[in-house]
Chains A and B, each alone.
Chain A
């Protein structure tokens, strides 16, 4: 079957049913509920907030990103299936915003995950977020929204930046971080039980 023929329909469907993964970071998270509710109803364009990353297409990074959050953002981003798009929202994602001299905020989000559309403002009004989403839809239509391709092609570069920030093997370290703490807790509980017996 020749899928080329169906490409316009598929592009239209991709454009008109962007599901957002509800990952609200920073202050911009407060700007998300107004977008979804009755005043600026984003469901008109078929967008839906979605708690599961596996179903989502659009990732809205809504504000400053700390290294701790960035780990989660990268993992969530990598969990999404492939045509996936990122909108970075607020000045903090562009150059650090008012946190330009903070030791604990990421200055350039673009160095860690690829971004399609930036929305400036601190914080942007819902209208400007809608403008950004409009731009996103245009880019999907004419095929310039290719951040997921860039992430695949330039993975070495992104990985180098991530490793520079967190140190090599951060995924395993992050996963194992709680084990000693849980073991200590278990030991403490056991000791208390022995004392009581």
Chain B
């Protein structure tokens, strides 16, 4: 047997800061806004491997849009995006509070990540099927899904579109291109690839778009999805939302210390983009790039959206037990809402007063929807008929379900 010069030792990755520490992001290599070139959307993925290690950014520190990735959006679109992000945050705040008030059992905010689902939900029409995780509520909000229906789902009340069957926030809406959310992580990514394969098989012009968190990329489904997407050149956009945290595990535990998540695409022969996820314009531009590519039948793009999970993982989580309390405030890419607001103001297309009014309006919309939903009932006050518990297991009710339903007396 050969001897090692030193005994072997096991490395277990640790984050740069724990509770009580000063947040330290000095290890991050962040490209300046405008610094990264924009390859042609139809370019060979082998010619753009460096994109997986750079960071596409458009908005600079003064709120100016710079560089080749500037999507040059008109002010109206920017204002719509900002309002949808503001509304998403207002919705989150209210529902988080509703949980604290005992009105529901569970909630998950997307604070700090609003730009991602909102921008992507605005670019792609509802005909392009989204395969979200539980943190893309911005997709529904950007596509104009009724807030009251979201709340009805969260309250599992008599008007819950999915009849009280799922944990709060596991929305489902075919009409809004929002695939039914599952608690099982990663499963929806290869499903999105299959959906996209079906669209291609039928000669359709619709795309699929999926999301997965940094933590869940460790699931086998992620590997399967990328393999199938590459093999069959499926028209799908595969997003990885790297918000640095999977509950209490920092992204290093998922393999993020060794390489970027975007770079995982390289091994599959897929193009990868790595993008400032708090920069509405950069998210928009990258998604548009991937969309152009998919619509031209060049297949899938992997996009790593670099962001920070500002809120607790869920209402059942306390981040002060595993990360520095002020880490979010120190996040070098800032806040997506503040940055887009600053940009619009720099353009002369927005003001603090308008922002204040938009926030008030969002709060009012959420309040009105809350009133309407709570009038139907919060958790336990109202629910669909118990009979519906036995429905939709199969297309038609099985004899066993009929018997069991009668046993319950409904």
Chains A and B belong together in one complex: no
Residues of B within 8 A of A (CB): none
